[in-house]
Amino acid sequence: MSLQEQAATVAPAVSASPPVLASIAVARPVRGEFTYSVPESLASQLAPGQRVLVPFGRGTALGFYLGPAARPPGENVRLKPIQRVLEDSPSLPKDLIALLRFAAEHYRYPLGEVIRGSLPPGLSKPVDEKEAKPDVQHFAVALVNEVPPSLARAHAQSAALAYLLAVGGSAPLEEVSHAIPGARAHLKSLASKGLVRVEEKKLEAGVKEGLIQGRPDRLTPEQDVAGGTLREALDTGAFQPFLLHGVTGSGKTEVYLRAAEHALSLGKGSLILVPEIALTPQLVGRFRSRFGSEVAVLHSALKDRERLFHWQALRKGEVKIAVGVRSAVFAPVENLGLIVVDEEHDPSFKQDDSLRYQARDLAVVRGKQAGAVVVLGSATPALETLENVKKGRYRLLELKRRVDDRPMPTIEMVDLRQERPRDGMMTDEAPILSPPLLAAMEQTLGKGQQVILFLNRRGHSTVLLCEVCGVSLKCTSCDVCMTHHRSQNRVVCHYCGLAMPVPDRCLECTGPMLKLGIGTERVEAEVLERIPTARVARLDRDSATSAEKLTEMLAAFARRELDVLVGTQMVAKGHDFPGVTLVCVVMADTSLAIPDFRAAERTFHLLTQVAGRAGRGKDPGRVLVQTYNPDAEPVKRVLAHDFDGFAQQELEWRKALAYPPFARMASIRLEGEHPEQTASVARHLGNIISRNMPPASVGVRLLGPAVAPIAKIRGKTRWQLLLKGPTHVALAPLLARVEAALVDVPSAVKVVIDVDPGAML
């Protein structure tokens, strides 16, 4: 049974009639709902979704009132009373309570913690509503359409103005201040120059504060058909899920905008989910440009006060459209009519800690509960989504051509086996930029056009290896090799952050150390060495250490103040740079060797997405893919623009091996400081699962217990067990067994259940 099918089994919200006993979810890591008595003085104040203060254990705790409760069995049960109601109106609407209950049950997580995690800071603590209310909102509005040349050297002021322009010309001052340190002073200076205006106001429905621009006069025929189908679906007011499969540059965002516009005309709200909003300011800008202050933005880069402001504006119905990252799937959008999940294939939609939910799947569940239209958009849809289309669960909308009939970029392969021959270990510093790639870069830059170099690995060299004994330098706390960062003259573990100076000699035998592999830092250095006249910048987590640096770098590249952008997957998502005509994938092989059944799919997705950055302006695009594995299936299919062929072959392989989407999976991960104790607990849980398999779990297979692919992180040993079964229902009894057994697990061993795991490491 799929997630969307299970949604039909969620119990409806209970009546709001004055209760004698109340069902409360407590914001503590405890499972289940608790029954409290309701004092007469509070009975008339309670409504489902309100935050309350309740006694719990020896102290008090934040609780959430879910509705009336029946008296627990037992005559002598003494119930504690609710102490205080913390707000006049519920923070959570009834429809959101149903979604949160479903998420807690499906992902095996305490309901109270699920609810608390869905709320913004200010509502996730036991404080009264009046203490949590923000003050009047201040907006910064740009009065120009570009950064004047006179500000080019005033980096801080230029960054503040560039941020405003990147997000549509207007933004709350709290948001700009968080993204650009010292922004208040910079904006005051810009205001004195007549470049910016700072306004004080409250969000009001219908007010258009953004710059109304960028709306195309005509849609392509494919956009028109897709838009018409979505308008008809919205008019019916019923749940209808769609896959919008559009090639890069085909205008999917404009389809989203028109659909949201139609939903708004019907008095309905829209929820737009994107993988990483800090990396896609252009999308936020387009929505603000079209809808102004009808748009609330929800992501962790905002200050706590700002996130609370946007949440409350949505909850009160003052704002109808929410744009955010995965956690925005819980946004309290009133009268929800449209849900869009852009780049729905992206792994970022899966949360990998606390409540380990998949936001794309919960968006479908929420759409079913709300009777909303759900649009999953991608140039490279997830195989799970494609299978839902094949089974008739989702309707398919296609955009096969780029806007203005721009051609798809030509994709060429560079075989590094011939272009970069390796003569044993001694050529460890051989150039990574092959002659064909360098020639293409020089030709592109000679025309005044821009280049993106993509490599999904940061640092300079990825491995330090002893030339004598062959031992690689590994982190002392994690079972992974340390990465050499030449600019810092340090080696760093990318899992726990441990760093140390680069050793001159092998720590085992004192032999000389070889620096093997490549990272973005080394690629940047090589570009500067080979093409010294090029203006080069590097975009990865080492260089973009703040939202200010990230925004200014992207804005500078958009203004063509940079010629070459070297980056990790940060450069692959959501950016639209018309000046880019050449994209080079420096090493296509980095993700193929990961021990994960999704490795080929993610390699194909990433290569296609980064290739899609080329040729989005008037000039045609070209893509070069350097690889040591030209026969690898994802590489061959990308070269041929053959997503359908890749998907068909990959689905056949998944079906033969019973992997998703043809099976449901759950991972049970363990980590502990004592290797023997951790292994013992893993084997114990494996025995509990295997013993007397219940009839409901026929067809479930247990893989493991086994040491995890990364056997140690931060000094803790890691084990895992994998369950594969035909449905989630078949997995549920076995996961319940594991949960029941956790009470006897030593506290030194942490056990985590991950339903629908996104990664196998």
Known binding residues for Zn(2+):
466, 469, 475, 478, 493, 496, 506, 509
Listed in sequence order, the residues at least 6 apart from 754 whose beta carbon sits closer than 8 Å to its beta carbon are 356, 666, 667, 668, 669
Q: How far apart are CA 475 and CA 320, in angstroms?
A: 49
Spatial strand order in the sheet of 536-539: 410-415, 622-627, 580-585, 450-454, 564-567, 536-539
Closest CA to 671 of 710, 704, 701, 703: 710
Query: 444 Cβ partners below 8 Å, 6+ apart?
Result: 450, 451, 581, 582, 622
Annotated binding site: 466, 469, 475, 478, 493, 496, 506, 509
d(CA 289, CA 665): 42
| Alpha-carbon gap, residue 333 to 120, rounded angstroms | 14
Evaluate whether 532 touches 558 at the Cβ level (below 8 Å): no
Closest-CA residue to 738 (of 677, 685, 684, 665): 685
- Which residues, including other chains, have CB under 8 Å from residue 545's CB and lie 6 or more apart? none
Residue type for 426, please?
M
Q: Beta-carbon neighbour count of residue 568 at 10 Å? A: 22
The length of the chain, given as a count of residues: 761
Give me 223's structure tokens.
């956009």
Retrieve residue 625's tokens: 């893919």
**Segments in 447-537 forming alpha helices (H):** 520-530
Query: What are the b/e assignments for 479-499, b being 16+ CB within 10 Å?
Result: bbbbbbbeeeeebbbbbbebe
The strand pairing partners of 410, in sequence order, are 622
Q: CA dist 499 to 81, 126, 711, 758, Å?
A: 52, 39, 20, 28
> Residues of 238-272 as b/e, b for ≥16 C-beta within 10 angstroms?
ebbbbbbbbbbbbbbbbbbbbbbbbbbeeebbbbb
- The stretches of 207-315 forming alpha helices (DSSP H) are 221-236, 252-265, 281-291, 304-315
Q: What is the CA radius of gyration of the chain?
A: 27
Buried b (16+ CB within 10 A) or exposed e, 22-57: bbbbbbbeeeebbbbbbeeebeebbbbbbbbbbebe
Q: Residues 707, 719: contact at Cβ < 8 Å?
A: yes
- In sequence order, the β-bridge partners of residue 22 are 36, 68
Alpha helices in 181-251 (DSSP H): 183-192, 221-236
Q: Are 182 and 156 in contact (CB under 8 A)?
A: yes
Q: Strands across the sheet with 395-399, in order?
A: 295-298, 321-324, 269-273, 336-342, 373-378, 240-246, 395-399
Strand residues in 258-394 grouped as ranges (E): 269-273, 295-298, 321-324, 336-342, 373-378
**Cα 515 to Cα 485, 538, 613, distances in angstroms:** 11, 21, 31
Helix (H), strand (E) at residue 390: helix 383-390
* Residue for token pair 């979505």: 230
* CA nearest to 326, candidates 378, 380, 274, 271: 274
